[in-house]
Structure 1
Amino acid sequence: MYSPDFSHYHFTVAERFLRYVQINTQADPFSSATPSTPGQKDLGRLLLDELHQMGLEAEMDAYGYVYATLPSNQTHPVPVICFCAHMDTSPDCSGEGVKPIVHRNYQGEDLVLPDDPAQIIRMEDFPELQQQIGNDIITASGTTLLGADDKSGIAIIMDALHYWISHPEQPHGEIRILFTVDEEIGRGVDHVDLQKLRADVAYTLDGESAGHLEDENFCADQVVVQIHGISAHTGYACGKMVNAMKLAAAVIDNLPGELSPEATSGKQGFIHPLHIEGNVETTTIHFLIRHFEENGLKAYEQLLEGLVKQQVNRFPGAKYEWKCQEQYRNMKYVLDQHPEVVRYAEEAIRRAGLQPVHHAIRGGTDGARLSFMSLPCPNLFTGQHAFHSKKEWISIQDMQKAVQTLVHLAEIWATR
């Protein structure tokens, strides 16, 4: 086994990350364009330029996806690995004008974010910080998210490429790179060209604590309920008007409180009213339905439709329309058929000096959808924490460990 030497390697992951987060790539769920915002292509062009400077074959397609290739340095056939990360950031918190701050040699103190001193990152709120004593923490300045989700994944992949190019003796097969758009709004792989990608297995870099390996996630559907009432002049509405907004409110009010995101954790699922709009005549509610098993997902949907029927049936003339759209499924269904994909990742994490921790994602990644597109794809850690918030933070040393994990992982695939 060849043992890569990182003792004298100058990691570039932090400087890359600090550069990438300053580009606003916040996704827009109300845009029909791909990508949904122009800033995602701005980052894509920067990455394309850096990839070309490394001497790699790379392109950005019309949808904003960036593809790149690191050729194999082996003489025998090796499965082609894809490393994937997404360029967009969450619409839940502003990504405009991100000002990253590096807090050197963290010693457990409160991190007060200067542009909004009310934003304080405390160890009591984030016990993971206990593992970061002596490390260098990056935060935003208090008025925006940081963008570690998922620019940390991008920076880690780019630094791993830098390592392979500067250490040509390090064994690896052909490596394909995919940077996607609009992952945060559920469209991350809508237009991925798998024939162009031509990979055998893939790993997303979009996970949390150092050492975490995520090989299962929610099954997810979106349900849109449109409730139709009866409009009438308010002065003469007695016995005639059926207010669709009140019916929608009654549906939401009767949802089981124990099945809400704010009351669930671990492998508990939920029914979440995400968005509501309308008027007396027609009101539309968008729901997110989540469960780790498909049969649990269907049970929640039956429960929800039962509540809708119960409320609508109270008023003659009222009616509803029901639309259920599949979003993604639990990657575990696919990964269980390819155990070596996860096993090699566990070994790579150990070689990087960490203990692998299996973790179930209470959400989804591009990897979940890629897995069901015949590309088995678990999710690897990047070190990001408190994502989608102004208190988002990440450790430089954790990102460096992720770079090492990728180098070890490519070697394992090359030498098996």
Structure 2
Amino acid sequence: MPEMDRPAVKDRLLRYVQIDTQSDPLSPTQPSTEKQKDLSRLLVKELLDMGIGDAHLDEYGYVYATIPATSTRKVPVICFCSHVDTAPDCSGTGVQPIVHTAYTGAPIVLPQDPSQVITIEEHPYLKEKIGDDIITASGTTLLGADDKAGVAIIMELAAYLVANPQLLHGEIKILFTPDEEIGRGVDKVNLKKLGADIAYTLDAGELGSLEDENFSADGMTVYFHGIAAHPGSAKGKLINAIKLAGEFVASLPKEKLAPELTEGREGFVHPVRITGSAELAQVDFIIRDFDTQKLGEHEFLLQHLADEIVLKYPGSRTTYEVKEQYRNMKEVLQHHPQVTALAEQAMLNCGVQPRKFPIRGGTDGARLSFMGLPCPNLFTGEMSLHSKQEYVSVQDMEKSLAVLVELVQLWEKNAAE
């Protein structure tokens, strides 16, 4: 591919991460935080400045834009998608990115909190990145490369294609979403307006990552109904729902089915929040497994454990709610093999060895796939996500950009006349 301006992707990321876009799982609005639109408005301006005239931000926080086709072939319309929000797990306010040029392999001490040290021992992938330029935050916030690295790569793809109309490709759609980190990334997306046939999210980590398989996911809430009474005269009357919930959590499996005990394709149940009072308490869970059928088994286990607790306290009871969150994209993508195959070929053509990992999580692509838009997930270089030790390799981002340029041309070459 023609020579690109090397600093471009890096400089975009350095600008974007300084804008606070943290989403809020407790907010009922869409987007969950208005500040996400601060970055989205900037992206629209930059797209318009490139000459992409239909770029716009809608009321729900989605950015839509179209790069016109340069080919007369019947090329499927490709959408590239990333999310603008950062995770609620770690502060995204006042991010101060630092570029560690030509990383040597030595520990990276983050200056605003020297207790935050990024080492090869704790982050083995860094062994492959010696010599690369590594971007981190300063020690008190996350970096936000998840997923502003993806945003920067897609934005630079747009700039590159607009500047090089001799490259043949079909129509390309750009979609930037809010609230991915809280599971609402595509709740209000308008697929008819988007008008794409296939999609790729840019939200994976290691160089060469090509993710076409992810957890299936449910959310489950277990309610404990106790009996309230004045504590001064509660003997023989009070059944404290908070204590029931605590006893229930203590009864969860100790040697399996927990995130801290599982890896690979092993599923888990994970309590994420306990709230309530003496009369009513609730425990919120996320339930995960690559085998969708096993979600029901995990939920039955939680019901059984809760029922055993309340049987010991006559007059108390328990109820349950289960909400589907997303499903394994493999169930869809296996029927669209070309979507993954061409991404693999694009990587190989760019000298990148594909790495296919099952995602122990979810992406917007999982839900988009089940909404009729087959959508695997491609690498950006973002690593150690949702933490103060988050980092990204500039060279990984540049390789990702090269792969996208190759990918759109491969789709054009494989299209009908």
The reply to whether residue 13 of structure 1 matches residue 9 of structure 2 is yes
Report the Cα offset of residue 5 of structure 1: 2.5
Structure 2 counterpart of 1:31: 27
Q: Distance in 1 between matches of 2:72 and 2:322?
A: 49
Counterpart CA distance in 2 for 1:150 and 1:133 is: 23
Cα deviation for residue 12 of structure 1 reads 1.2
Deviation at 1:234, TM superposition (A): 1.8
* Contact kept? 1:367, 1:376, Cα under 8 Å: yes
* Structure 1 residue 51 corresponds to structure 2 residue 63: no
Match of 1:211 in 2: 208
Whole-Å separation in 2 of the counterparts to 1:76 and 1:156: 26
Contact 1:78 1:413 in 2 (8 A): yes
- Which whole-Å deviations, capped at 9, do the CAs of 1:103-136 have from their partners, x for residues lacking one? 0010101100000000000011001011111110
CA contact (8 A) 1:145 1:391 kept: yes
Give the Cα–Cα distance (whole angstroms) in 2 for the partners of residues 241 and 333 of structure 1: 49
Show structure 2 runs of 5+ residues with no match: none
Give 3-state SS (helix, strand or coil) of 2:282's partner: strand
User: Is structure 2 residue 94 aligned with structure 1 residue 97?
Assistant: yes
Q: Which amino acid aligns with 1:405?
A: V
* Aligned AA (2:328): N
Shift of 1:161: 1.1
Equivalent residues of 1:11, 1:159 under 8 A apart: no
Q: Distance in 2 between matches of 1:159 and 1:11?
A: 11
1:315 aligns with 2:313: yes
Gaps of 5+ in 1: none
Offset at residue 84 of structure 1 (A)? 0.1
| Number of residue pairs matched by the alignment | 412
Distance between the aligned counterparts of 2:265 and 2:24, measured in 1? 29
Match of 1:226 in 2: 223
Q: Would the aligned equivalents of 1:232 and 1:240 in 2 still touch at CA under 8 Å?
A: yes
Tell me if the contact between 1:11 and 1:400 (Cα under 8 Å) persists in the aligned partners.
no
1:391 has 2:389 as partner:
yes
Query: Residue 233 of structure 1: CA displacement?
Result: 1.9
Contact 1:111 1:121 in 2 (8 A): yes
8 Å Cα contact 1:231-1:242 kept in structure 2:
yes
User: Offset at 1:88?
Assistant: 0.3
1:176 alignment counterpart: 173
SS of the residue aligned with 1:359?
Answer: coil
Q: Offset of 1:236 from its aligned partner?
A: 2.1
- Alpha-carbon distance in structure 1 between the residues aligned to 2:387 and 2:122: 14
Identical positions, percent: 55
What's the TM-score once normalised by structure 2's chain length?
0.98
Moved over 2 A (4+): 8-11
| TM norm structure 1 | 0.98
Q: Confirm or deny that 1:295 pairs with 2:293.
A: yes
Check the 8 A contact 1:140/1:391 in 2, yes or no.
yes
Aligned counterpart for 1:279 among listed residues 253, 256, 277: 277
Residue 160 (str. 1) matches residue 152 (str. 2): no
Q: Structure 2: how far apart are the matches of 1:312 and 1:405?
A: 56
1:199 aligns with 2:196: yes
Query: Alignment partner for residue 249 of structure 1, among 225, 246, 258?
Result: 246
The structural deviation recorded for 1:225 is 1.2
Match of 1:149 in 2: 146
- C-alpha displacement at 1:9, in angstroms? 4.1
How many angstroms does 1:232 deviate by?
1.4
- Which residue in the other structure is 1:407 paired with? 405
1:295 Cα offset (Å): 1.1
Q: Which moved more, 1:143-152 or 1:225-234?
A: 225-234
Residue 11 of structure 1: how far off its partner (Å): 4.9
Aligned mates of 1:225, 1:303 — CA distance in 2: 12
What's 2:65 paired with? Answer: 68
Find 1:87's aligned residue among 67, 71, 84: 84
Matched with 2:262 is: 264
**Contact 1:259–1:270, Cα closer than 8 Å, also in 2:** yes
Q: What SS does the aligned partner of 1:358 have?
A: coil
Match of 1:373, as an amino acid?
M
Name the CA distance, whole Å, in 2 between partners of 1:53 and 1:215. Answer: 34
Question: 2:349 & 2:398 partners in 1: Cα distance?
Answer: 13
Question: Which residue of structure 2 lines up, in the alignment, with residue 132 of structure 1?
Answer: 129
Please give the alpha-carbon distance, in whole angstroms, between the structure 2 residues aligned to 1:10 and 1:127.
26
Amino acid at match of 2:79: C
